[in-house]
Structure 1
Amino acid sequence: MKRILVLLMAGLLISCSSSGPPPTEVAVDSPTAARSAPLAAATTGTEVAAELERRYRDTRDDCGAASKPAFLCSGIILRGTEASTSFDAWNPSPISVANGGVSFTYLRSDYKVKRLAYTYDSGFIFHPILSNPPGKLFVEILCFFPVDGDSNGRSDGGCGAHKEYPTTSRSCEEQSPVIDTAAKWQAKYIASGNARAKSMCSFNVRDSTNTASAPRFLEGMRAGRLISPDAFNTPNDMKLKTWAQNIPLQLPIEAFFYTKPTGLAGAQFYQQRFRALTGITVPIISIPLPQTLEQSATFTYRVADQTL
């Protein structure tokens, strides 16, 4: 996968900033839009909303090879955050600096969640690695918990053993016997009772796992479905490698978002602060999350939401 990423860094021409006069409101939730080819350059807020919808509806098993897990090209990788004048939302927290991993949530139409961690209602979205814009940091995805795995209490980027269950909570491939299928993960989850969050294992999907990465992520997605509605009611935890502080211009931020009206002010704060630091206006996208398994998330760009 590393060789592929090197080639992509030279060839991709995607930008995350918004420009040009967009329409007043565009909601993109049609199956036709979801089946269309990837946008060559999502530069306006309208195009960003369309691209997010396309990826949300893209339910592929991998990105063309066993070494290219689905999150490299499909789904939405987002982080719920809190607006504050004391810190920038895109900077890793002290816990993330200490353990080496930052928590994100993975959204896709076949892997729905009704809320974000800590009930956050705003945050930011990263470009998937296979469409990372030129000059932006490639942030490695380390592991995936089908539901919240209390990763702040774990070692190894938040992917390893939990301090309270040092043996039973190790990464899935380190379990004895190895947990390499959704059914095995489900069985361990059920057997752990009230200790599920702290004793569950994560699916290691690091670049170094090569051809094991895509199958592992797929089994992780399947495991979440097996414990429905738990994985809908409690958000999953995708751990990304901690990046340096105060490098907003290098981060692959595709959009800021809010999930409820109460989150709009936070998203606007991020947009203003990011523009002040970088000179780039990243669009704000409204993403109401489904409240039932029959519903889906929608992606809407509104001019009135922007702090232009």
Structure 2
Amino acid sequence: MKRQLCIVLFLLLTAGCATHEPQTSAIQEPSAQTVDSRGSGVQGAGTGPEIAAYLTEAYNNVLTMCRNNPSAPSFLCTGVTLRATQHSTQFHFWNPNPSSTGVSFSWLRKDAKFGKLVFGYNNGFILYPDFFKPAGKISLAVLCFFPVDGATDHRPAEGCGQYPDRPSSRPCQSQGITTAAQYVDHFNKNPGMYGALCGFDIRDELNEQGARAFTEAVKAQGQLPTSAFTTQNEFRMRKWAQNLGQTLPIEAVFYINDTGKAGAQYDQRDFKTNTGIWIPMIKITLPQTAANDARFEFIPADQAISQ
């Protein structure tokens, strides 16, 4: 009888163990990271309306770091990283220019606004924040950030070095420029912008120093004179290999007006044809003043192909 009782107790205990596994998904991160933690398991490939909602959320999610980690700059989990491109049937939009030393993007967030795209372009593509990219997608190396366009095609060191004959354009930290206030002073002393200004080194290996530099750069952008609003900021990323469409963390193609719609439609078709992956076309309405906000819309009638 005692043996039978022991067997019964053993079976009950083991059954209990089998049905009460740790509920890791229920662990809550601090409230400051609510959007980040909620999205980490959700923000993969989605429907058009879902992607538009993710972008709106990322645009409005003003954080100084991700996951309460001082070494994780906010671009890893917030903001909208986009690259303006020129429509062409001669190349795929996701391939870097073979002659370039790096790849330029801009970063749009509620506290990092601009009113136009580089070269007056009207369409392009958007990357997932690195912490939210779907499984199987590669990470891209971010090198430096300019609060306004840095004319990086003319700079050495993958676009992050000194513009020719402009000592004021050396990387900000090498000049002792580490705060937003110091950058604003630097900007005001170099009204020519572009090649006259420095960029912040934000490489991953800098850890907390790089994350802090990015925070100060974003603050600086928000404190610049109104004249800077019409010039987009600039991320510089390390160039990746050709024909990596299937593994690049591309979230969507976008357009800002009817002129850019045809280019985005071509790119949407081209991406699906060559990778088998459907991505939505998102209409971005850029803010026309610093008091306005950007809008992100999925318009079914504008899509070149359905999901």
The bucket for the TM-score relative to the shorter chain is 0.7 to 0.9
1:132 corresponds to which residue?
A: 133
Higher relative contact order (CA 8 A, sep 6+): 1
Residue 42 (structure 1) shift:
4.5
Residue of structure 1 aligned with 2:263, choices 261, 266, 276: 266
TM-score by length of 2: 0.84
Deviation of the 1:227 alpha carbon:
1.2
SS of equivalent to 1:193: coil
| Contact 1:257 1:284 (8 Å CA) reproduced | yes
Q: Is the 8 A contact 2:145 2:214 kept in 1?
A: yes
Are the counterparts in 2 of residues 66 and 213 from structure 1 also a CA contact under 8 Å?
no
Asked if 1 retains the 8 angstrom alpha-carbon contact of 2:45 and 2:134, the reply is no
Match of 1:90 in 2: 94
Aligned 8 A contact 1:286 1:301 in 2: yes
How many angstroms does 1:164 deviate by?
Answer: 2.9
Write the mapping of 1:186-205 to structure 2, written as runs, cut at 5 A: 186-194=184-192, 196-205=193-202
2:301 equivalent to 1:304? yes
Q: Structure 1: which 5+ residue stretches go unaligned? A: 1-33
Counterparts of 1:51-62 in structure 2, within 5 Å, are 51-62=54-65
Structural RMSD (CA): 1.6
Letter in 2 for 1:148: D
Range with bigger deviation, 227-236 or 237-246: 227-236
Say yes or no: does 1:77 pair with 2:81: yes
Query: Whole-Å Cα distance in 2 between the matches of residues 61 and 193 of structure 1?
Result: 28
CA distance in 1, matches of 2:138, 2:227: 33
The 10-residue stretch of structure 1 (67-76 or 56-65) with the greater mean CA deviation from structure 2: 56-65
The whole-number CA distance in structure 2 between the counterparts of 1:265 and 1:275 is 16
For the 8 Å contact 2:36–2:77, the answer to whether it is kept is no
Unaligned ranges ≥5, structure 2: 1-34
Partner residue, 2:235: 238
Aligned-pair CA distance for 1:168: 2.6
Superposition pairs of residues 9-88 of structure 1, within 5 angstroms: 37-38=38-39, 40=42, 41-63=44-66, 64-88=68-92
Residue 223 in structure 1 maps to residue 220 in structure 2: yes
Larger Rg: 2
Structure-2 change in CA distance of 1:172 and 1:35 (3 Å): closer
CA shift, 1:36, in A, is: 10
CA distance in 2, matches of 1:186, 1:234: 15
1:204-250 deviation line (CA, Å, top 9, x unaligned): 11101111122100110111122132342100011111101121111
Tell me the matched-pair count. 268
What TM-score, normalized to structure 1? 0.83
For residue 292 of structure 1, report the CA deviation from its aligned partner: 1.4
What is the CA–CA distance in structure 2 between the aligned matches of 1:69 and 1:35, rounded to whole Å?
13
1:143-162 equivalent positions in 2, closer than 5 A: 143-162=144-163
Equivalent-residue separation in structure 2 for 1:229 and 1:72 (angstroms): 28
Q: Which amino acid aligns with 2:229?
A: F
Superposition deviation, residue 263 in structure 1: 0.7
Instruction: Give the match's secondary structure for 2:183.
Output: helix
Q: Is contact 1:36–1:54 with CA below 8 Å preserved after alignment? A: no
Q: What is the percentage of aligned positions where both structures have the same residue?
A: 41
Is contact 1:144–1:202 with CA below 8 Å preserved after alignment?
A: yes
- Aligned counterparts of 1:67 and 1:35: Cα–Cα separation in 2: 15
Q: How does 1:99-138 map to 2 (within 5 A)?
A: 99=101, 101-138=102-139
1:160-213 C-alpha deviation (Å, 9 max, x unpaired): 111232x332111112xx11111111112211233x321211111110111112
Q: In structure 1, what is the Cα distance between the partners aligned to 2:301 and 2:36?
A: 28
SS in 2 for 1:142: strand
